[in-house]
Amino acid sequence: MVKIKGKLYICPSPIGNLEDFTFRAVRVLKEADLIAAEDTRHTRKLLAHYEIRTPVTSFHQHSSPKQTEKLVSAMLAGKNIALISDAGTPAISDPGQVLIKACIDQGIEVDPLPGPCAAVTALSASGFPLASFTFKGFLPRKGLDNAVAALAAVQHPVVLYESPRRIVALLGAFGKHMPDREIMLARELTKVHQQLLRGRAEDLLAQVEAENLERGEYTVVLGPGQERFTPAERDVLTLAQQFLGEGMSVRDAADKISGETGVPRREIYQLLIKKKDT
Ligand code: SAM
């Protein structure tokens, strides 16, 4: 007789508003044999609210490989397990990936439920073109400046998570590397005091400091870049800046750059006019 394996359900949970649990997530949690929760105490409170009485075990980023094995064995023996994190979608800057991969390796079905996710919720309200975007999760604590400098090269929107204690430092780095980029700060999404703040880094920094907003939960969406010059054009402009700075006339500078780069003089003039307009 073929033994029927259980399943792993991935259950998103509310990110601040209890009404955002889906009917299906509540049913799946009620019907599962076991709930694997990032923080059992936190999840028990949520489960009590929905009268879900399924047994709960813990599964978090420091769980031992033994705990993964235990859960996998239970599913191989036919038990259905629902994975839940403290808020939002498991495995998105939250624990889950190790268990999900173990299920895939063992041929256990992984059944993802759609539901709350702070990144997607923030993106949806950004008003930025979203044909493509980058999700960065939390930027590294060390080397924030370098991480932000690298983001300046990304031309489509970028969504990231940040702690309120570091929001000022993050905005400072954005101001340094992307002073003109439109940004949306999604603060306390879905909660009573939800705020969607839009503007450039300098203005947002002033607002966060003036209104004492260094608390609450933040998801940050960087708008698209508006790179006006290609890397080759930038090289030409750097040379122009150097020669003009040395006192050369525009005509002589254009001649010299054309000789050095092979770019026609006419194009160099056009580029200088475009630069003057920025
Ligand atoms: N897995 C979760 C999800 O799907 O949204 C994300 C978990 S991550 C550990 C937690 C971070 O998500 C917070 O530090 C914050 O940056 C962001 N976040 C969670 N809830 C939020 C909310 N209500 N408003 C804004 N950002 C939120």
Rounded to whole angstroms, the Cα distance separating 79 from 90 reads 19
Are 35 and 56 in contact by the 8 Å Cβ rule? The answer is yes
pLDDT, tens only, 5-45: 999 999 999 999 999 999 999 999 999 999 999 999 999 99
- Residues 64-119 have pLDDT tens digits of 999 999 999 999 999 999 999 999 999 999 999 999 999 999 999 999 999 999 99
| pLDDT above 60 (res 216) | yes
Which atom belonging to ligand 1 lies closest to the Cα atom of 90? 1
What pLDDT is attached to residue 227?
Answer: 62
135: region left, alpha or beta (phi > 0 left; psi from -120 to 50 alpha): beta
CA pair distance 201, 174, nearest whole angstrom: 6
Check: CB of residue 189 under 8 Å from CB of residue 180: no
Say whether pLDDT at 231 is over 70.
Answer: no
Average pLDDT over residues 192-217: 97
Report pTM. Answer: 0.84
Average per-residue pLDDT for the chain: 94
Residue 235 pLDDT: 84
pLDDT (tens digit per residue) in 236-251: 888 998 999 999 999 9
184 lines ligand 1 (CB under 6 A): no
Distance, CA 186 to ligand 1 centroid (Å)? 10
In angstroms, what is the span from residue 116 Cα to ligand 1's centroid?
Answer: 10
Our mutation pick for probing the ligand 1 site, out of 100, 219, 221, counting the most ligand atoms within 8 A of Cβ, is 219
- Mutate which of 218, 220, 221 for ligand 1 pocket (most atoms within 8 A of beta carbon): 218
Alpha carbon distance 205, 173 (integer Å): 11
The closest-lying atom of ligand 1 relative to the alpha carbon of residue 16 is 23
**Which pLDDT score, from 0 to 100, does residue 228 have?**
65
**Which residue in 135, 140, 169 sits closest to 154, CA to CA?**
135
- pLDDT tens for residues 154-180? 999 999 999 999 999 999 999 999 999
Does ligand 1 come within 6 angstroms of the Cβ of 20? no
Q: Kindly state if the Cβ of 201 falls inside 6 Å of ligand 1.
A: no
| Domain layout of the chain by residue ranges | 7-112, 118-222, 231-277
The residue to mutate among 15, 38, 191, 195, having the most atoms of ligand 1 within 8 angstroms of its beta carbon, is 15
Instruction: Supply the CATH classification number for the domain 118-222.
Output: 3.30.950.10
CATH pick for 7-112 out of 3.40.1010.10, 3.40.50.300, 3.40.50.1100, 2.40.50.140: 3.40.1010.10
Q: Return the pLDDT at 278.
A: 57
Distance 161 CA to ligand 1 centre (A): 6
pLDDT score for 173: 96
Q: Write down the pLDDT at residue 140.
A: 95
Q: Give the percent of the chain with pLDDT over 70.
A: 97
Q: Point out the ligand 1 atom lying closest to the alpha carbon of residue 119.
A: 5
| pLDDT (0 to 100) of residue 137 | 97
Collapsing DSSP states into helix, strand and coil, what is residue 233? Answer: helix
Residue located nearest, by CA, to atom 8 of ligand 1: 93
Closest-CA residue to 209 (of 173, 164, 174): 164
How many whole angstroms separate alpha carbon 186 and alpha carbon 122? 6
pLDDT surpassing 80 at residue 274: no
Task: Give per-residue pLDDT as tens, 190-200.
Answer: 999 999 999 99
Q: Could you tell me if the CB of 13 is within 6 A of ligand 1?
A: no
Q: How far is the CA of 62 from the centre of ligand 1 (A)?
A: 19
Question: Token digits for 240?
Answer: 């122009």
Q: 277 CA distance to ligand 1 centroid (A)?
A: 41
Neighbours of 25 (CB within 10 A): 24
